[in-house]
Amino acid sequence: MKTLILAALLCALLAQTSAEGFNYFDCLDDWDPINFRCFKYVPKAMTWADAQKNCRSYKANLAYVRDAKENGKIQEMIRQGKAAWIGSTDAQKEGCWSWVDGSTFTYANWAPGQPDNYQGNENCLQISTEGRWFWNDLDCQTPLPSVCVRNY
């Protein structure tokens, strides 16, 4: 009987681990597993820089989005809010957007006419509930909730 219980527990544990070796137990309770990474919605409104600093305190970064699936899951996470910071800026060079981890975009979901650098002062990326959950560039000093991501 002990062998049967042990075998059942082992099977359950193995079922939680994907073929790529990602263990969903690696995501903490308040983090959501998406595409073999862990995401966390932070409802406290902060500037973009403070939001990134806060994510770093979790050994994470502001979220970078690799595909439509991740974008959709992030939308679900922030549905209660109106917008949230995610991890891109063009502060280094206007019009040259990259993720905080240094990678370039492989997916984008800009709203029509965006990014527009309105009044020459919009250098940070928000995902917004205005309209249809598109991305928008915004003044980095605007306090917003945020989404962090951790890799495993």
Q: Average pLDDT in the 80-96 region?
A: 92
**pLDDT tens-digit readout, 117-135:** 999 999 999 998 776 779 9
- pTM of the model as a whole: 0.82
Domains of the chain: 28-151 (3.10.100.10)
Residue 17 has pLDDT above 60, yes or no: no
Q: What is the band of 37 on the pLDDT scale with cuts at 50, 70, 90? A: very high
pLDDT at residue 107 is higher than 90: yes
Residue 55 clears pLDDT 80, i.e. is over it: yes
User: Which residues, including other chains, have CB under 8 Å from residue 88's CB and lie 6 or more apart?
Assistant: 62, 64, 97, 98, 99, 100, 105, 124, 125
143 contact partners, CB below 8 Å, separation of at least 6: 45, 46, 47
Confidence of residue 79 (pLDDT cuts 50, 70, 90): confident
Is the pLDDT reported for residue 5 higher than 80?
A: no
Taking the C-alpha atoms of residue 71 and residue 77, their distance in angstroms, rounded to an integer, is 10
